[in-house]
C-alpha cells in the first residue's frame, strides 16, 4: 500500500469544453503521479504533484541506452457518471513482464493499480463525457542514473500522466489499409518484442513512414527470422476470420500480449466461437484470399478497440477484405467491448474496476 503525498496545482488548467475535438495525446491534466526508486531503498516518495516539466541530467541513462518501459490504458465515463478502468491488473502484470526483461525493478501489482486509481480519481473531472471519448493513462518508468556506462541503472522514476482523448472513430468504424512489411522487421524472439518499451517503437518508425508514403495507414510486421509469419500491427494485435475460423498469431515472445487481444479471445470463446492461436504464414493467407476464404481481418488495441482492415498489401498483391467494409464479427466485438468499457452493459467477466 503506497503512502501518497499530494501537492495541489495552484492554478488548475482550463479543461476541454464539451464537444471540443480532443485528438490524441496533446492535452494533459492538472496532476501527475511520481515515485522514485533507489537501489537499497526500493520504491519511495510516491506523490501526486502538478503536471510539470521534469529535470534530468543529460547523462541520464534513459537518453542513451533506452532503459525504459511504458503502459497504455484508459478510464471511461459511464452514463451515470462513474469512472471505470478496464482490466488494470493485466496492465500491472504486463508492466512487470516488461520490467523483468529490461532489468527495471518490479513494482508490486497492487501498488501499480493503486497509483493509477489515485491519479485518475484526483483528476477525474478531466475524464471527458462525449461519446467515444476517454482519459488515456500513460504509466512509464525511466532509468535516471547520471552515468554513460552500459549497465542497469540504480535509480528510476515511475510516472503516470493522463490525457483526455477523442473518439477513435468520430464518424463510425472505418476500415484501414495495411502494408505488410517484408524488408524491415520489428522484433525477434529473444529480443524485447513482448515488452512495451520505447526501442520497439523507434525501430518501427521507418516502416510506418514507408507505409504512409505508399498510402497505407499502418504496418503489419512479419517474423524477424523467415519474414513469413504474421506478427502484429504497429500498436495492435491482429485477427483473421478465415473459412469460419478465427485465428490470431500465438504469443511467441516477439508479439506484445495485448489486453484487448486477450479480451477478444475470451469474448469469442464465451460466444461459442473457436479461436486458434498459432503461426499464420503470409503465403497461406494469400492463398486463402485467392480462394475467397478470408472473411474478416481486424486489429485489436486499447486505442481503437477493434480496427477493421479493409485492404492489405503484400509485395505486389493487394487484397480487399470483405468489400472494404466492417465485417459482422468486428462490429459485434467492438459493440460488446465498448459497451462493457463505458459501463453501458453488464460485465459478466468482471473486467471493469471503479476508480
Site residues, ligand PLP (CB under 6 A)? 72, 196, 232, 235-237, 256, 258-261, 300-302
Rounded Cα distance between 96 and 107, Å, is 7
Rounded least distance, CB 159 to ligand PLP, Å: 18
Q: Which residues pair with 139 in a beta bridge?
A: 160
- Reference 130, options 164, 105, 162, 173; nearest CA is 164
CB of 261 to ligand PLP, least distance (A): 6
In the bound state with ligand PLP, the residue whose beta carbon lies nearer, of 37 and 86, is 86
C-beta of 30 vs 232, nearer to ligand PLP: 232
SS3 of 276, please?
Answer: strand
> If you compute the radius of gyration of the chain from its CA atoms, what whole number of angstroms results?
21
Task: Name the residue whose CB lies closest to ligand PLP.
Answer: 258
- Report, in Å, the least distance between residue 326 CB and ligand PLP: 19
Cα atoms in the 13 Å half-sphere on the side-chain side of 164: 25
Q: Which is nearer to ligand PLP, 46 or 137 (CB)?
A: 137
Give strand ranges (E) for the chain.
Answer: 5-6, 31-38, 42-50, 68-70, 73-77, 83-86, 134-143, 155-165, 176-181, 218-222, 230-233, 237-242, 245-248, 275-277, 294-301, 305-314, 317-320, 352-354
Q: Which three cell numbers stand for residue 215?
A: 498510402
Of the candidates 165, 318, 322, the one whose C-alpha atom is nearest the C-alpha of residue 241 is: 322
Q: Residue 18 CA to chain centroid, in angstroms?
A: 26
* H or E element in which residue 152 lies: none
Identify which of residues 155 and 302 has a Cβ nearer to ligand PLP in the complex: 302
> Between 301 and 343, whose beta carbon lies closer to ligand PLP?
301
Task: In angstroms, give the least distance from the CB of 302 to ligand PLP.
Answer: 3
Q: Which is nearer to ligand PLP, 237 or 330 (CB)?
A: 237
Closest contact distance (angstroms) between CB of 81 and ligand PLP is 25
Q: How far is the CB of 168 from ligand PLP (least distance, A)?
A: 12
- In whole angstroms, how close is the CB of 257 to ligand PLP at the nearest point? 8
With respect to ligand PLP, which residue has the nearer C-beta, 179 or 289?
A: 179
Amino acid at each position: 500500500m503506497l503512502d501518497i503525498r499530494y501537492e495541489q496545482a495552484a492554478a488548475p488548467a482550463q479543461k476541454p469544453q464539451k464537444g471540443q475535438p480532443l485528438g490524441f495525446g496533446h492535452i494533459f491534466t492538472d496532476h501527475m503521479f511520481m515515485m522514485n526508486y533507489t537501489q537499497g531503498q526500493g520504491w519511495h516518495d510516491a506523490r501526486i504533484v502538478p503536471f510539470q516539466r521534469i529535470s534530468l541530467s543529460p547523462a541520464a541513462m534513459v537518453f542513451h541506452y533506452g532503459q525504459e518501459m511504458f503502459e497504455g490504458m484508459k478510464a471511461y465515463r459511464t452514463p451515470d457518471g462513474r469512472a471505470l478502468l478496464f482490466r488494470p491488473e493485466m496492465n500491472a502484470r504486463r508492466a512487470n513482464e516488461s520490467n523483468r526483461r529490461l532489468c527495471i525493478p518490479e513494482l508490486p501489482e497492487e501498488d501499480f493499480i493503486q497509483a493509477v486509481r489515485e491519479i485518475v480519481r484526483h483528476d477525474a473531472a478531466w475524464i471527458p463525457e462525449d461519446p467515444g471519448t476517454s482519459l488515456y493513462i500513460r504509466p512509464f518508468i525511466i532509468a535516471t542514473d547520471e552515468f554513460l556506462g552500459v549497465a542497469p541503472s540504480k535509480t528510476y522514476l515511475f510516472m503516470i500522466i493522463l490525457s483526455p482523448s477523442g473518439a477513435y472513430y468520430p464518424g463510425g468504424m472505418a476500415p484501414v489499409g495495411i502494408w505488410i512489411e517484408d524488408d524491415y522487421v520489428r522484433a525477434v524472439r529473444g529480443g524485447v518484442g513482448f515488452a512495451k518499451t520505447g526501442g520497439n517503437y523507434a525501430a518501427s518508425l521507418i516502416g510506418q513512414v514507408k507505409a504512409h508514403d505508399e498510402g497505407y495507414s499502418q504496418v503489419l510486421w512479419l517474423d524477424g527470422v523467415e519474414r513469413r509469419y504474421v506478427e502484429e500491427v504497429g500498436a495492435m494485435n491482429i485477427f483473421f476470420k478465415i473459412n469460419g475460423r478465427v485465428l490470431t498469431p500465438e504469443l511467441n515472445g516477439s508479439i506484445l500480449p495485448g489486453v484487448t487481444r486477450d479480451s477478444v479471445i475470451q469474448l469469442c470463446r464465451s460466444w461459442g466461437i473457436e479461436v486458434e492461436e498459432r503461426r499464420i504464414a503470409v503465403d497461406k493467407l494469400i492463398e486463402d484470399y485467392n480462394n475467397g476464404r478470408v472473411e474478416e481481418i481486424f486489429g485489436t488495441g486499447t486505442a481503437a478497440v477493434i480496427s477493421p482492415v479493409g485492404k492489405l498489401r503484400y509485395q505486389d498483391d493487394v487484397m480487399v477484405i470483405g468489400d472494404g467494409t466492417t465485417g459482422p464479427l468486428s462490429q459485434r466485438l467492438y459493440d460488446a467491448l465498448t459497451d462493457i468499457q463505458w459501463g453501458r452493459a453488464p460485465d459478466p467477466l468482471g473486467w471493469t474496476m471503479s476508480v
